[in-house]
């Protein structure tokens, strides 16, 4: 087991990882920018190292500074959290070259999954269902038309180097296709310096369902069930649930089984998430994230298993603490992402939190690094906390969520709490009846 872990992140996830390390009796080092000197995780860590000024590229993305912090403090492993360097293959390789363990998969696996065309090819080879479409990049208009006619309109053109929902265009007819192809290519070229695009069938009313997987580091793979993250705004997840209201136990174990086997066949090590669009009972792979997800606590709530403990165990060569048959799904969990943003326009609202009071009681978890008097710096993303609620079933979970949202107080800044108070009373949400477009339509109506 590791002696000392360096946490290369900030905010709620840095604190989340720190808590896991403390429980395992592992010493902690945190790195932080000058803007985060007063952060909760900095106060709670055994050691801290200031690695640079506020902009991320000079601090949380500065590989040299982070490796130097490892050497100075004698850390033998790095947990990257999510975002920042968590899916940076070069970072994983550099740490390996310095004999420091990256708590995550190999650089090669990060690289494969970071290239959308390569990821889709790999998924297909491993027996994961993918969206019908071109087999790789498409350059000729004639070829694009042939493929689109074969899979049927509407189709979506996506940038190979894409990310964050950018560089995508939908075409409903052959006439649309010509324009969509041109604009997608020029946008992709401008945004990513690579104008390669590929074509997929466009699914009109899918849900976003993702499977939590783990490779044990010895060639074995397991799944921890799925999460439904269909409530999104601009491709950003807002509300996540486990299990999905749309799946039954048979579908869960079928897709989970396919994913677990794929992870084993790939020889993957550590935590990963295989993301799908789900429509009319069919799953379509969109991408794999090779790290811990923001929404991992809903899986922890229904399985009772600490996924960060498992990541640390696997990275240290100790394997998983559970076998597939030990993983049981109990009750229902929902996570609300509380952002420092206007709840309707979503404009960021940094500033000082004058009063912060979190809900409590059975089945409530709040993951947050902020406190009364904390000043939110304007340099980073606006997530200030996550409210995770667990109940014996979805109805109980929703009742508890409503109560928890009533108790939650964040004064001094705007937050997305009022949006969740509206959503929890909505009939479609109560029925679990929503797809990936539902939230944007709801917001557009201004209800």
Stretch that binds ligand ADP, among 175-183, 195-203, 365-373, 386-394 (CB under 6 A): 195-203
Whole-number Å distance between alpha carbons of 406 and 402 = 6
**Of residues 252-281, which lie at the interface with ligand ADP (CB under 6 A)?**
277
Report cis status (omega within 30 of 0) of the bond before 138: no
Count of beta carbons in the 10 Å neighbourhood of residue 284? 20
Judge whether 291 counts as a catalytic residue.
Answer: yes
By CB under 6 A, residue 87 contacts ligand ADP? no
By CB under 6 A, residue 208 contacts ligand ADP? yes
Closest CA to 324 of 211, 253, 242, 223: 223
Q: Given candidates 18, 196, 286, 353, which one binds ligand ADP under the rule CB under 6 A?
A: 286
Give min distance, CB of 88 to ligand ADP, in A.
Answer: 15
Stretch that binds ligand ADP, among 9-17, 27-35, 155-163, 326-334 (CB under 6 A): 155-163
Closest CA to 354 of 329, 328, 374, 331: 374
By CB under 6 A, residue 163 contacts ligand ADP? yes
- Map residue 39 onto helix, strand or coil: coil
Give min distance, CB of 236 to ligand ADP, in A.
Answer: 9
- Measured from the CB atom, is 102 or 202 closer to ligand ADP? 202
Report cis status (omega within 30 of 0) of the bond before 48: no
Whole-number Å distance between alpha carbons of 143 and 426 = 45
Give min distance, CB of 203 to ligand ADP, in A.
Answer: 4
According to DSSP, the β-strands at 47-52 and 409-411 are unpaired
Give min distance, CB of 24 to ligand ADP, in A.
Answer: 33
By CB under 6 A, residue 105 contacts ligand ADP? no
By CB under 6 A, residue 436 contacts ligand ADP? yes
Give min distance, CB of 313 to ligand ADP, in A.
Answer: 29
Q: Are 223 and 276 in contact (CB under 8 A)?
A: no
DSSP characters over 177-210: HHHHHHHHHHHHHHHHS---EEEEEPPSS-EEEE
Active-site positions read 291
Which stretches of the chain bind ligand ADP, using CB under 6 A?
131, 156, 162-166, 200-203, 206, 208, 235, 277, 286-287, 436
């Amino acid at each position: 087991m590791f002696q000392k872990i360096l946490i290369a992140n900030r905010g709620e996830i840095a604190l989340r990882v720190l808590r896991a390390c403390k429980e395992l009796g592992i010493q902690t080092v945190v790195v932080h920018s000058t803007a985060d000197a007063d952060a909760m995780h900095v106060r709670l860590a055994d050691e801290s190292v200031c690695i640079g000024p506020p902009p991320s590229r000079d601090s949380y993305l500065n590989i040299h500074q982070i490796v130097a912090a490892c050497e100075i403090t004698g850390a033998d492993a790095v947990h990257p959290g999510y975002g920042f360097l968590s899916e940076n293959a070069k970072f994983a390789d550099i740490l390996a070259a310095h004999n420091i363990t990256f708590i995550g998969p190999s650089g090669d696996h990060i690289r494969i999954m970071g290239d959308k065309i390569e990821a889709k090819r790999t998924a297909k080879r491993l027996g994961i269902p993918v969206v019908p479409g071109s087999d790789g990049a498409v350059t000729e208009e004639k070829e694009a038309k042939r493929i689109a006619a074969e899979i049927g309109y509407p189709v979506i053109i996506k940038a190979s180097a894409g990310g964050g929902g950018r560089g995508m265009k939908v075409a409903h007819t052959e006439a649309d296709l010509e324009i969509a192809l041109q604009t997608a290519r020029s946008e992709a070229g401008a945004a990513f310096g690579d104008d390669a695009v590929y074509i997929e069938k466009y699914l009109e009313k899918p849900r976003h369902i993702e499977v939590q997987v783990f490779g044990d580091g010895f060639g074995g793979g397991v799944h921890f069930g799925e999460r439904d993250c269909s409530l999104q705004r601009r491709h950003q997840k807002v509300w996540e649930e486990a299990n999905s209201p749309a799946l039954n136990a048979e579908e869960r174990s079928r897709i989970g089984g396919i994913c677990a086997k794929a992870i084993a066949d790939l020889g993957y090590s550590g935590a990963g998430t295989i993301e799908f669009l789900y429509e009319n009972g069919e799953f379509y792979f969109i991408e794999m994230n090779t790290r811990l997800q923001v929404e991992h606590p809903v899986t922890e709530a229904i399985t009772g298993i600490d996924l960060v403990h498992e990541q640390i165990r696997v990275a240290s060569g100790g394997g998983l603490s559970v076998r597939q048959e030990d993983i049981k799904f109990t009750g229902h969990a929902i996570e609300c992402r509380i952002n420092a943003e206007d709840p309707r326009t979503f404009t960021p609202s940094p500033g000082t939190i004058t009063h912060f009071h979190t809900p409590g009681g059975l089945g409530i978890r709040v993951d947050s690094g902020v406190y009364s008097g904390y000043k939110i710096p304007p340099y980073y993303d606006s997530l200030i906390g996550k409210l995770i609620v667990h109940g014996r079933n979805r109805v109980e979970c929703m009742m508890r969520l409503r109560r928890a949202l009533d108790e939650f107080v964040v004064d001094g800044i705007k937050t997305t709490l009022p949006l969740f108070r509206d959503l929890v009373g909505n009939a479609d949400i109560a029925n679990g009846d929503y797809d990936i477009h539902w939230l944007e339509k709801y917001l557009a109506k201004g209800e």
